[in-house]
A and B are shown apart, each in its own frame.
Chain A
């Protein structure tokens, strides 16, 4: 079969005509052919690969015959009318069964059915059982009828194709969920599909089929924009009409509609007469957009869309807050202009990557605020290279940056303090396992920090340490170096809670062995010097005393006076040495108190007695009021305190004054008060009195002898009794010194 025969068969198939039922149009055409040609048989014969099939026939019962024997097979090879005047006389057909047997064909004339694209599908033919000829008019008529058959075939095919297209369209419409409209611009009539109606909650027929009724449903705010676009399209300035607007539903709600359409017909003057288009419900999309817009607006973070050209396209209000510029100002300049000069290069590099389609996962740069301040912004960005846009989100991390910086600085400072601290600092966890060790501790113990980490703090000690008991106090401990050498450490232990919320201990260790040596040397020195001074002073004081007393014989008055000055000052020197020794002993803890129940009256009486001579000499009277309470104390030391306070009172009294000594039970303590009527002590100097080498008025040193240690010694003694000492005084009104020591029991 030739290739063009295959194409011919394909063309035939396109008409979908074979084996269809009879159709009036074709039947009438064969009837007409039979009549015009006065032939008993007329056929519309279509030739497929194996047969000729008759779409319409007159005078023949059989619907088809095999192709090999058909006359039409020959006819379709022609472009013109094919005529066999006498088949019996034609060698091509004489043996043909259709000639030799029924229907005994002698005459055949077939006009080819040539499609517009040039294929010969078959013939319309007339057949007679007698040999004959066709007149010219008949030949023309048969040829014309052939053309009419093709027209009918064509028509039939187009109708069928249209039906398929319509069905397909119907399915699309059904599936698209869009509504359709068809608007007659002349009458205003508007046809709406069911879906177009239901989109707004209307049933078919519920809405007047008129454009006006339809347009009334548009939201007032959206109408102008919609009309503008529509008029643009109607005027031919816009290819397509497209509008997003709200329409009121039957229930009164606003539905977002995307309306699209096009003019489909125009009058002779080109004026549009008909428009058709679709409706889509875009409420969901609009809601999603609105939601996104709201997030965009409320975001604390900076959200923006920028062009690849380096300019902002859209910014959220956060930009205004962070950078101080209005959105318009920000959009009017390349954003690189707003970036800190030092960060422009890195920002440009990052932009380059974005242009190449790379996503920015984290990028920091500094922006300059309108007021000149610097803001650190951390960015993430994603490029949309097709659209030429960058979608970016930024966060103002200035505060975090600053905090981070501060934290680092503070960390470095703390680290530096710890590393440079002369004392050893060791931290442990709650169990006492070493966590960190500073360089001073490394040097102190001879182990590296790594060697000590994880070990027990106790290992460094020559003793077991109860962390809890040692907390918040200063303890001296024997410790051991790596070399085995033992030394004394002063340990102050405190607890802290780290960022992990866990309890930790920090031990501050100071090697005090050297300090101990120095202190011991100092004490020994003071002690030795003091003792060595006593021996010569014994001779001096003794000699002067003997001279001054006159037992060595009478001396001239002036000599006696000079000797007295020398004697008085030697006594003063002795008391100074005594005070220094006392103080050294109190300081070093060597002065032990023998606390026992002691009758206070005896202490006070003995004290008054010992000062009586001096008082009498100065013309000061001492009064004693005591009810016989007992105190828990060291009699000699309490006497020392009382005598000291009494001698001060006498010293600062004027001739004829009275010094009062009284005692009373105050709760569980006994308070002793020594009151004078001297010149008093200014309030600002009262506290200083009890400090070593302090005197109320330094000018006193010349007029009133004293070491300045007396009250400090008194304070130390009283405190070793578990008591307290103080003064109440007003300038010019005298002073009352008091001390309190624990009572030994109920007053006798």
Chain B
């Protein structure tokens, strides 16, 4: 299973890479911002994208809309990663078409299982 992690925080990307790769056994590719993420999504054809909500420049929501607008990436499930734990926020992301929402900070040992549950459900 290939996952694209789009997050501007290198440390978060690193922990996510370890959690999903080493703990979860997934292939992890990364992007540091929205534009790069969109490009990598086209190139790498990931099974899903873990997209950070708050990023400088193009934020998560804009990136998501761009991914949806591109036929090459429109079908890829997106799970948002957000520090905003408020219910209305989560609701809004789901309404955008997100497959699921993972709240920061996550448990590195169970992150992969959580995402599998979201994608399988």
Task: Annotate B1-42 by CB proximity to A: 1 below 8 A, 0 otherwise.
Answer: 000000001011011101100110000000000000000000
Q: Return B68 CB to nearest CB of chain A, in Å.
A: 25
Contacts A542-B19, A552-B18 given; indicate if A531 touches B11 (C-beta within 8 A). no
Q: Are A592 and B87 in contact (CB under 8 A)?
A: yes
- Which of these, B23, B88, B104, contacts A551 with CB under 8 Å? B23
CA A271 – CA B108 in complex, angstroms? Answer: 149
Enumerate chain A residues within 8 angstroms of B113, measured Cβ to Cβ: none
CA A570 – CA B108 in complex, angstroms? Answer: 13
Q: Are A539 and B18 in contact (CB under 8 A)?
A: no
Q: Are B108 and A535 in contact (CB under 8 A)?
A: no
Q: Are A551 and B18 in contact (CB under 8 A)?
A: yes
* Selected A-B contacts with CB under 8 Å, 21 pairs: A535-B9, A535-B104, A536-B11, A537-B105, A538-B9, A538-B11, A538-B104, A538-B106, A539-B12, A539-B14, A541-B108, A542-B18, A542-B19, A542-B108, A546-B15, A551-B18, A551-B22, A585-B86, A590-B88, A592-B87, A592-B88
Q: Is A338 an interface residue (CB 8 A)?
A: no
Within 8 A of A (CB), among B82-121: 83-88, 104-109
Q: Are A549 and B109 in contact (CB under 8 A)?
A: yes
CA A492 – CA B69 in complex, angstroms? Answer: 54
Interface centre among B11, B84, B87, B105 (most CB of A within 10 A): B105
Q: Are A535 and B12 in contact (CB under 8 A)?
A: yes
- Which of these, B14, B18, B105, contacts A541 with CB under 8 Å? B105
Q: Are A545 and B108 in contact (CB under 8 A)?
A: yes
Write the chain A residue with the least CB distance to B16: A542
Q: How large is the interface on B (under 10, 10 to 19, 20 to 34, 35 or more residues)?
A: 20 to 34
Q: Is A659 an interface residue (CB 8 A)?
A: no
Task: Annotate B45-80 by CB proximity to A: 1 below 8 A, 0 otherwise.
Answer: 000000000100000000000000000000000000
Main secondary structure, interface of A, reads: helix
Interface centre among A535, A552, A578, A585 (most CB of B within 10 A): A535
Q: Are B87 and A546 in contact (CB under 8 A)?
A: no
Enumerate chain B residues within 8 angstroms of A536, measured Cβ to Cβ: 11
Write the chain B residue with the least CB distance to A585: B86
Q: Is A581 an interface residue (CB 8 A)?
A: yes
Within 8 A of B (CB), among A524-550: 531-532, 534-543, 545-546, 549
- Which of these, A532, A545, A551, A592, contacts B107 with CB under 8 Å? A545
Enumerate chain B residues within 8 angstroms of A541, measured Cβ to Cβ: 105, 107-108
Q: Are A549 and B86 in contact (CB under 8 A)?
A: no
Q: Are B84 and A545 in contact (CB under 8 A)?
A: no
Q: Are A542 and B9 in contact (CB under 8 A)?
A: no
Contacts A543-B15, A549-B23 given; indicate if A591 touches B109 (C-beta within 8 A). no
Task: Annotate A561-596 by CB proximity to B: 1 below 8 A, 0 otherwise.
Answer: 000000000100010001001000100001110000
Q: Return B86 CB to nearest CB of chain A, in Å.
A: 7
Enumerate chain B residues within 8 angstroms of A581, measured Cβ to Cβ: 85-86
Interface centre among B16, B86, B108, B109 (most CB of A within 10 A): B108
Q: Return A648 CB to nearest CB of chain B, in Å.
A: 22
Q: Are A539 and B15 in contact (CB under 8 A)?
A: yes
CA A532 – CA B9 in complex, angstroms? Answer: 12
Top 8 nearest A-B pairs (CB, nearest first) are A542-B15, A538-B105, A539-B11, A534-B83, A542-B108, A545-B108, A538-B104, A531-B83
Q: Return B52 CB to nearest CB of chain A, in Å.
A: 9
Q: Return A434 CB to nearest CB of chain B, in Å.
A: 43
Q: Are B88 and A538 in contact (CB under 8 A)?
A: no
Q: Are A574 and B105 in contact (CB under 8 A)?
A: yes
Q: Are B85 and A546 in contact (CB under 8 A)?
A: no
Task: Annotate A449-471 by CB proximity to B: 1 below 8 A, 0 otherwise.
Answer: 00000000000000000000000
Enumerate chain B residues within 8 angstroms of A532, measured Cβ to Cβ: 83
Enumerate chain A residues within 8 angstroms of B85, measured Cβ to Cβ: 578, 581
Write the chain A residue with the least CB distance to B105: A538
CA A730 – CA B104 in complex, angstroms? Answer: 40
Enumerate chain A residues within 8 angstroms of B106, measured Cβ to Cβ: 538, 542
